[in-house]
A and B are shown apart, each in its own frame.
Chain A
């Protein structure tokens, strides 16, 4: 293969792998923000989910049990955020940072014994069986979680557009007055949206520890949980757009390692920063004009 093709295949492989945690955290964050609350704690949820998934997979020998554990752990931590933010005068942005620090701390604390042992990982689905190229076969081995994430994004989009639950979440997120007038349970809606959203983010963490990179250590997450917040802004609070945005961020994340496969090692650390630069550029582009972004839930604290 030519170097360009090698890099392209490596980036495709990287994009399909790296994008999945972005996808789960971003649709989870999208759900939470649609209800009018922001959760910066999903970074902590991601790490805690990764740890819980790895630990349970190791203890039970079943990676799918680990996946469930990650979702439950995420829902618990997100539920804490949701419950505390329901109290008067509590700042949800600052609380998210606290949840982030607490979540990573708890994950490192309980995850210490699981750094060494190797747990059973989730299997991949070989979509590249038709190709004779080893690289392409590797690139097209897709995690079932990636497909699950896409299915979840489409389901969420349908839910927002066509169901009663989705409409209620949107009302609570867009106008507190309208929700009050309709007698909707505002706090309960936001609590549930935060808990379920963090459950999805927890699954994103399970992908990190049980599929790619497929191990548990303290440097596993590199800010995907927080970058997802920017990603949701970029996706205009639309779950379908979250899929495209995640693939873009995944490709940016795969840039450095892909160039390494053809021997370009100069500026490894700078290429490593590519997804952050993309995030920053996205923030600047989407924030132009400063206010009333199309599609932004009206009750979101970062918009007021």
Chain B
């Protein structure tokens, strides 16, 4: 592929045409527009949700207070929030990476579950070796399982033209069925009666909290993954080609970009992130694979990726926000007697609002290029 030949195409598809005259503040206004729309959406969803709460006879101020106390009020709740946010960082990447190519992958849940299972299975023969080796092998196995599962969706899309939204969701159900079949069958520890589980990886092999800060080990890994993905997307040739493809797939094909390979690779990379999330859940929380892995992280990840507009750096604050909401869910039930689906309703409203806010782009003249 010739970089020189690819450039003019990218200039037309990824960035709005730069005006000839000196419009120095345009990049700034452009960035402001990109920040304003989600803010308007978040505000609108706050108003809508407040109306819902008022209709139920609850105070929105109280709700905000509960979320604050439950999510960020004390060091304990901050750690709880980070624990919820850690897998979300990685599952959001599972949507954001294929999203660069214009694909919507919604099957991250299965990648988490299968990643966790593969990591556990890989660790079982090694339980008496060095914990570092065990954890490395687990990470590789988890990432590989996730990469395989989401990679299938990518391959179906790239090679056969199968719609990736439906394929990834159907594959998520199939993945969960395989997981249940294995965990309740050949891989089951007979002593796990109420909650079928695999054998444990042993306490010695568990990942400890981050030393000194005492926070969830998934946080540094998730942040590193987000930063690496940002570099990959915005600072490498691969990311450039991916964004060109996302802007206009046919133009990318005409330029000779390896579109098929780009699709499969970005899906596999996203899946690897989600699989890693499953591995961390096993290695840091449960110590074994069971249905606790199926906690909806994959679905919340979709929302976070859209909130962040598929930008890996923006995923970090959004994951913190939604991790906080999830962490405060228990407190909402206890203090305000709200159903546990409250967080889901709020997330749904935010999701609808954020997508609706896409229509704001280009409507306000002040943000547009001048000259």
Instruction: Give A contacts to B, CB under 8 Å.
Output: 40, 80, 84, 87-91, 93-95, 97-99, 101-106, 108-109, 112, 222-223, 226-227, 229-230, 233, 267-270, 272-273, 276-277, 279-280, 283-284, 287-291, 302
Contacts and interface: CB of A to CB of B under 8 A. Distances in A.
A302 to B, nearest CB: 5
B344 A109 contact: yes
Contact of A276 (B160, B165, B177, B354): B177
Contact of B181 (A80, A99, A269): A269
A270 B185 CA distance: 11
Contact of B352 (A98, A109, A302): A98
A222 B355 CA distance: 25
Given A89-B361, A102-B352, A283 B177 contact: no
A108 B340 CA distance: 8
B30 to A, nearest CB: 16
Interface string B151-178: 0000010001111011101110110011
A189 to B, nearest CB: 20
Nearest to B346: A105
Contacts of B345: 102, 105-106, 109
B204 interface: no
B82 to A, nearest CB: 24
Interface stretch (B114-122, B211-219, B277-285, B299-307): B299-307
Interface residues of B, number: 43
A270 B362 contact: no
A117 to B, nearest CB: 16
A283 B299 CA distance: 22
A87 B160 contact: no
A269 B182 CA distance: 9
B356 interface: yes
Contacts of B362: 89
Contact of B306 (A94, A267, A270): A94
B339 A229 contact: no
Contacts of B347: 101, 105
Interface in B93-127: 104, 106
Contact of A270 (B104, B169, B181): B181
A101 B341 contact: no
B181 A267 contact: yes
B160 A230 contact: no
Given A90-B356, A98-B355, A102-B348, A223 B162 contact: no
B52 to A, nearest CB: 9
Given A269-B184, A280-B171, A289-B161, A103 B177 contact: no
Ranked nearest first, the 5 interchain pairs of A and B with the lowest CB-CB distance are A102-B348, A290-B161, A105-B344, A108-B341, A273-B177
B166 A226 contact: yes
A90 B173 contact: no
B268 to A, nearest CB: 18
Nearest to A228: B166
Given A80-B352, A97-B106, A283-B170, 17 more contacts: A87-B356, A93-B104, A95-B355, A97-B104, A98-B348, A98-B352, A101-B302, A101-B351, A104-B344, A106-B345, A109-B342, A227-B166, A270-B181, A273-B178, A276-B177, A280-B171, A280-B174
A106 B161 CA distance: 34
B170 A227 contact: yes
B76 to A, nearest CB: 27
B349 A102 contact: yes
Given A101-B347, A105-B347, A109-B342, A287 B306 contact: no
Given A94-B306, A289-B161, A109 B173 contact: no
Nearest to A291: B161
Interface string B342-371: 101111110110111011011000000000
A97 B302 contact: yes
Contacts of B160: 284, 287-288, 290
A229 B180 contact: no
Contact of B163 (A97, A269, A272, A283): A283
23 contacts: A87-B356, A90-B356, A90-B359, A93-B165, A94-B355, A95-B352, A97-B106, A99-B352, A101-B303, A102-B348, A109-B341, A109-B342, A226-B170, A273-B177, A276-B170, A276-B174, A277-B174, A279-B170, A284-B160, A287-B161, A287-B162, A291-B161, A302-B165
Contacts of A280: 167, 170-171, 174
